[in-house]
A = this chain, B = another copy of it.
Amino acid sequence: MKIDELDGRLLTLLAAEPRIGVLEASRRLAVARGTVQARLDRLQTNGVIRGFGPDVDPAALGYPVTAFATLEISQGQGADVRAHLASVPEVLELHTITGHGDMLCRLVARSNADLQRVIDRVVGFDGIVRASTAIVMENPVPLRIVPLVQQAASQRE
C-alpha cells in the first residue's frame, strides 16, 4: 500500500505517543478530525497497522536473557517441530530461513542458567538435528519501525 507524507506523520506521532486519541492527533497534525479517522481506518483496513497491542518487556517480567537459536531440522519434520516450538512460552518468535531445513527462533530466559533449561526443552525433540545459540548481550537498536515508515512515506511513486 502507498503511504503518503501525512500517513507517515500520523504513524510517527502514534509511535511516539500511542495514548493520544484521534482528536488530539488531529490537533497535532493540524488536520481535521475526520481526516485522521479516515486515515487510521484505511491504515488498519490495509493491514499497515496490525493493532495496538501492549508492548510487554520480557525483562521486566523476569526474563532478562534473550538469545537466538538456529535449528537444523531433518526433512519432513517441519510441521511437528513448529508445533513443538509454538508450545514453548519462552519461544517468542520463530522463522524458517534459507538453508537446509533451518529455523531461527528468539528465546528468552530467567538467567543464563535458565537458558540452558529452555534450550534443552527446545532442542529435546525429534527432528531437530542440530542447534546453535547466540546470547544477546546488548540491543543497540531495539525493534523499530519509524525510520522505515518515514522512508516509505517520502517515497514518491
Contact = CB atoms under 8 A, between A and B. Distances in A.
A48 B68 contact: no
A152 interface: yes
A57 B47 contact: yes
Contacts of A47: 57, 59-60
Contact of A14 (B53, B137, B141): B53
A93 B56 CA distance: 16
A89 B147 contact: yes
20 contacts: A1-B60, A14-B54, A15-B53, A18-B54, A48-B57, A50-B56, A56-B148, A58-B148, A70-B134, A82-B141, A85-B140, A85-B141, A89-B151, A90-B151, A92-B148, A96-B138, A96-B139, A97-B134, A97-B136, A97-B137
